[in-house]
Structure 1
Amino acid sequence: MDTMVTEVKQSKYYSIILDCTPSVSHQEQMPVVIRTVKMDKKPEIKEHFMGFLVASETTGLGLSSLIIKKLTELNILLEDCRGQSYDNSANMKGRNKGVQARLLEKNPRALYVPCGAHSLNLMISDAATASIDATSYFGTVQKLYNLFSASPQRWAILKHYVTVALKTWSDTRWESCINSIEPVRYQASNIREALLKVREVSGPLTKVEAKSLAEEVGSYRFIICTVIWYDILHIVNHVSKLLQSPKMQLDVSVDLLTKAKTSLTNYRRIGFTSAQVSAKDMCEEMNVEAKKRD
């Protein structure tokens, strides 16, 4: 820690990156990352993880006070901060009472920049059609994983039918979302067959659940949701991975985000037609009718 603090002070100016995430113990934790430019023979962008802060209050006042207290403990001057970046929630980015507003009151040069990953989240919400209920859809994907992973026998049945196993997903990591969808996108028919097999060999409760999931996986609504979400997350995940590179440059980042926004805008305009074609092909493979259920 002392070495990192020394490097921050040597660089003088810095930006601060924050986010709030509930831990497994249900405490709101805020990781603190300080970004600097090390001026050596060749300028080098460095990010220093300064630890987790437990946030008992998630208001703009509570979080900003916590940040200032941490910087004071590290003997890092807030007046040298030149940037602040975090998610798009009101308590963080709020212009009146959010963290950005409260830090700007103390240092007008600490300009706010939205987190790229959360900004991509907003693009997704804008590009997805209104008929797609993300919570319901990903809830079904998670139920598929839970059903098979709860029993070695069921998992063996799944492995017999598919080449890429189902995966769980996390609502804080975009890559886990696309990884959970990929098996369903390209092996929906096989997963449905595995569910029907589970129904044959299981007890009453599991039999009902397997039948219900088999019907859902074979529905046109679920299939077209799968195609659309996979297409959208594929665009987002590609950019997200590139942005995580420690050598990423600002102009390249802006270009990547601009292209991603253009791709999502184009998908909203013409992507649904191609998604319908793919969904109908998947329905034909499963021998189910390609139409919405009432």
Structure 2
Amino acid sequence: MKRKLKDKRDQETKKLHGSLDKFTFSTNLSTSVPLPETDVTEIYTNENEITKIEKSVEVCGITSTNLSTSAQSQEIDVTEKYTNENEITKIEISVEVCGITSANNSDEKCAINNTNVTVTTEGFSDWQHTKERLREYENSFIHRKAICDFSNRSIDIKRIDCQLVLQYKKDVQYWRDVLKRTVAAVQFLAQRGLAFFGENEIIGNGHNGNFLGIMELIAKFDPFLKEHLNNYGNVGSEIKNSTYFGMIVDSTPDITHIDQLAIVLRYVNCDGQPVERFVKFQDIYGYTAEYLTITIVEIIKKFGIDIKNCVGQSYDNASNMAGKYSGLQTRIRTLAPLAIFLPCAAHSLNLVGVHAVENCNGAVEYFSIIQFVYNFFLSSTHRWKLLYQHLECNETLTIKSSSQTRLSANADATKALQQNYAYILSILLEISQDNNENGNTQFDAMNILKTLKKRETAILTIVWDVILQRINITSKSLQSSTENLFSIVPLYNSLTDFIQYVREYFGDYESKSIELLNKDI
């Protein structure tokens, strides 16, 4: 028995012989390493001068080690000599490489220089103890120093994008400070049951309400808030100075089921930069174009802005907003003839994606599965806690709900499902085998587990995550305040080309789905 085991080990060892030859040089240069030509001459002729460039490369000292010899240190000596005689320039470059060792037979060891660890100085041929030797190298001074250097280079202040990172952190801290002061004022008024709003919302006006009054009072003793109010407080005066503006309008119901109209004005400041400023939330009780027109015009007049200076308007594609004959955009153009209407590019992109999902039964079924998984864990505090504990330990996203109207929500849902796929499968298996759970819970867990283990479900998770993440990035770019009309079409074209690319590389996503199903926790 021992003889058989020894023969088996010898066979495995022979298979590994020469596996590192591609990383080393040998003494038999004619068969192992092709040497470059030693004399390379390039002659360039000109009517006035002749330039001759000679490159001579000398490779020497390439040696091989045996069991009794240790590796020589690797030395690289590069010298450049420049001479100029009679308009003839000669450049000589000599390179000497020494001490690169290799193993050509079973009696030789492979060695890597520049460390004091046995495996890198004397070589290594004991393949049965590879793990121990690698651990020895990982604990060496050279390796630890390299890791420390890598960590130092990863520090934000030493990265190539350090300025962008610092600016981002500065902006985050700025708005956090604004939020702290705003929340403090809201708490003060709410605890005493005082009204928030007044007759108007103009900074500096004595009838602008308790909230703005408190903010102005704090600003007298707080330079930060004073500067903030000066920069963002008087939108009306800034727009008056800019003269022309465009408006973006949309509505959505709040938690009290009252529809609120949000108005955003876009203009160019004195520095020539495009600026978007939120103006007001207005409760509305109708959806007709006539009612919305009257509401918007009255709000703009309160800020002392002339509606005739409106040169652009952008809404969604609803008939009451974008209607050609009696929609909001047509009625605004009767008051401001220069107010060109453009449908919201991000909203149009969202509509395309939503309708694409609705017209594909497989996609509808897939997002129903995502919603069912979300509802299964959300409906029980015990199951949600069990899921949250697994995801918190691995610092991954919690699962999200899908949406029938917002592609960005679906993008978050598919991303969370893909990152947590293996953990969700493990938790579902645990629940389905837990006798303390009731029968319905075990049955639902088993059905979801079978569905998620299907190859087509894993493929759809990979494909939809890739598509929706790209759509979400494009949508956010379209919503940026710095984007203009000229960038819309290139963004659309880029997205179209990317989706075509996804269709042509289906095999790659199929292989990724196999990895997703076989991923270890």
Q: Same-fold call, TM > 0.5?
A: yes
Q: 1:13 aligns with which of 220, 244, 262?
A: 244
Deviations 1:45-69 (A, max 9, x none): 1112111122211233332332223
Aligned to 1:255: 490
Structure 1 distance, partners of 2:278, 2:363, is: 32
- AA aligned to 2:473 is H
Deviations 1:110-159 (A, max 9, x none): 11112121122144357669424655543432332332244453234335
Deviations 1:218-257 (A, max 9, x none): 3455434323321221211222333444444543454333
Partners of 2:411 and 2:468 within 8 A in 1: yes
- AA aligned to 1:207 is Q
Structure 1 distance, partners of 2:374, 2:252, is: 24
Aligned to 1:200: 433
Partners of 1:161 and 1:190 within 8 A in 2: yes
Aligned to 2:333: 104
- AA aligned to 1:25 is T
The farther-off stretch of 92-101 and 272-281 is 272-281
Structure 2 distance, partners of 1:134, 1:104, is: 41
Deviations 1:75-98 (A, max 9, x none): 322211111112122222121232
Secondary structure of the corresponding residue to residue 324 of structure 2: coil
Partners of 2:240 and 2:305 within 8 A in 1: yes
Partners of 2:314 and 2:342 within 8 A in 1: yes
Q: 1:182 aligns with which of 412, 415, 426?
A: 415
Partners of 2:388 and 2:398 within 8 A in 1: no
- AA aligned to 1:77 is D
- AA aligned to 2:428 is L
Partners of 2:247 and 2:266 within 8 A in 1: yes
Change (3 A) 1:285 1:81: closer
Change (3 A) 1:214 1:97: farther
Change (3 A) 1:68 1:255: same
Q: Higher relative contact order by CA 8 Å / sep ≥ 6: 1 or 2?
A: 1
Partners of 1:64 and 1:102 within 8 A in 2: yes
Aligned to 1:77: 306
The farther-off stretch of 75-84 and 144-153 is 144-153
- AA aligned to 1:229 is W
- The root-mean-square deviation of aligned C-alpha atoms, in Å, is 3.0
Change (3 A) 1:252 1:286: closer
* The structure with more helix, counted as a fraction of residues: 1
Aligned to 2:447: 212
Change (3 A) 1:206 1:279: farther
Change (3 A) 1:148 1:253: same
Q: How does 1:42-191 map to 2 (within 5 A)?
A: 42-125=271-354, 130-132=359-361, 136-159=365-388, 163=394, 164-169=396-401, 171=403, 174-191=407-424
The farther-off stretch of 175-184 and 275-284 is 275-284
Partners of 1:8 and 1:14 within 8 A in 2: yes
Secondary structure of the corresponding residue to residue 66 of structure 1: helix
Structure 1 distance, partners of 2:512, 2:464, is: 17
Partners of 1:224 and 1:275 within 8 A in 2: no
Aligned length: 281
Structure 1 distance, partners of 2:319, 2:459, is: 33
Structure 2 distance, partners of 1:114, 1:24, is: 27
- TM-score normalised by structure 2 residue count: 0.48
Secondary structure of the corresponding residue to residue 178 of structure 1: helix
Secondary structure of the corresponding residue to residue 505 of structure 2: helix
Secondary structure of the corresponding residue to residue 433 of structure 2: helix
Identity of counterpart residues, as a percentage? 28
Aligned to 1:292: none
1:167 CA drift (Å)? 3.1
Change (3 A) 1:93 1:37: same
- TM-score normalised by structure 1 residue count: 0.80
1:161 CA drift (Å)? 5.5
